[in-house]
Amino acid sequence: MPMPTDAEIARFRDDGAVCLRNAIPLEWIERMRAAVDDDMASPGPMVRINTPQGAPGLFFVDFQLWQRHPAARAFVYESPAREIVARLMGSKEVIYYHDHLLVKEPGTQERTPWHHDQPYYPIDGEQVVSLWTPLDPVDRATCVEYVKGSHRWGRWFQPKFFKQGGVDLQVQDSRFEPLPDLDAERGQHEFLAWDMEPGDVIAFHALTLHGASGNRSTARRRRAWATRWCGDDARYGARAGQISPPIEGHGLKPGDRLECETFPKVWPA
């Protein structure tokens, strides 16, 4: 499969998000579709349902499929994703951090609120990247939107968390500032989103602001699997209050390199 071109690497670093076409072979997409449906039938311990009871659709969220599903684990260790993120980050090594499943069934109204990821993570460093991999065709209206260049603002914003039932809760942290009303500021920013087919992925920096609508389709599912990867400069960091996902048992202290059994080195193989 094609690796990111120099132009795509430049767009990732300048814009904070880039859509890579045909980056993941369809055999991996088929395997992950089966893993996702298995996970929805028997979720993990961090599962969340973000749709209130009685509301249309279903916003299903789970984490760490790689620890429970052979296809997800194989993707982490064998798919082209490892080399893709190494090239985007300019990193000699790649550490796998975690994965995040987000399924919005047809008619789901709940949106993914505006946020950026790194304040949720106990991770410091510039080389932190996600691959957002849709397992179904996605049109631009249903795709995640990214605020172009926001990873370069030098600003960290307060995380928001979904409570069970779909109500979001803002967590205060004196180091992070309140998020501006990005919808009210649409004229001040450029927003990136794409029509996508299975096999396409969006690579985005952990400080790039993003959010997504509900699934307005009446027939098409929106299964998406986001994988998180770290490079040479990533270090375990202290965070006040809640982190997401709440991964424990790794034994790391602030300033430590991430590589351990919980966060394995996956590149070079």
Place of tokens 């993570």: 121
d(CA 123, CA 205): 13
Categorize the per-residue pLDDT at 170 as very low, low, confident or very high, splitting at 50, 70 and 90: low
What are the tokens at 256? 């430590």
> pLDDT, tens digit, for every residue of 77-111?
999 999 999 999 999 999 999 999 999 999 999 99
**pLDDT, tens digit, for every residue of 10-47?**
999 999 999 999 999 999 999 999 999 999 999 999 99
Mean pLDDT computed over 188-217: 97
* pLDDT tens, position by position, 111-142: 999 999 999 999 999 999 999 999 999 999 99
Show the tokens assigned to 168: 């979001």
Q: Give the pLDDT band (50/70/90) at residue 242.
A: confident
Provide the pLDDT for residue 112.
93
* 181 band by pLDDT with thresholds 50, 70 and 90: very high
Q: CB–CB of 28/211 below 8 Å?
A: no
**pLDDT recorded at residue 172:** 61
Q: Classify 87 in phi/psi space as left (phi over 0), alpha (psi -120 to 50) or beta.
A: alpha
Tell me what percent of the residues of the chain surpass a pLDDT of 70.
96
- Mean residue pLDDT of the chain comes to 94
3-state secondary structure of 67: helix
